[in-house]
Amino acid sequence: IEKRMEELFEAIDSLPKEYVQNAEKAKEKERRQRLRAEKLEVQKVSQELRIKRALERSQAPTVKRTGKPVMFRSQLVQRQKDDGESQDAENKEEEEDYRYFFTE
């Protein structure tokens, strides 16, 4: 295999450079066109698939909700029970402080 490759490289070297460059350009151009065509084909297939799915969705029966929608309910604030005794004790304490500081 290596011997055959060496022979081919020598044959390329013996050809005119302009001819070799034109052949390489043509091969590169052909490769790019083939890749572009493959890419377009993939895009075309994916677009057809998207259109098919959209058509199926549009033809499918609509899902209609029945009944009343569930409403959000806020949490009620928990009230603490007021002890009358603790409130009375605080009032008496405030009253004593007031008399001590503000009266003669």
Local structure of residue 100 (DSSP, 8 states)? H
Q: How many residues does the chain have?
A: 104
How many angstroms separate the Cα of 30 from the Cα of each of 18, 33, 37, 49, 78? Answer: 18, 5, 11, 29, 79
pTM of the model: 0.47
Residue 49: its pLDDT value, please?
Answer: 97
Q: Tell me what the pLDDT averaged over the chain comes to.
A: 87
pLDDT surpasses 80 at 81 = no
Between CA 7 and CA 12 the distance in angstroms is: 9
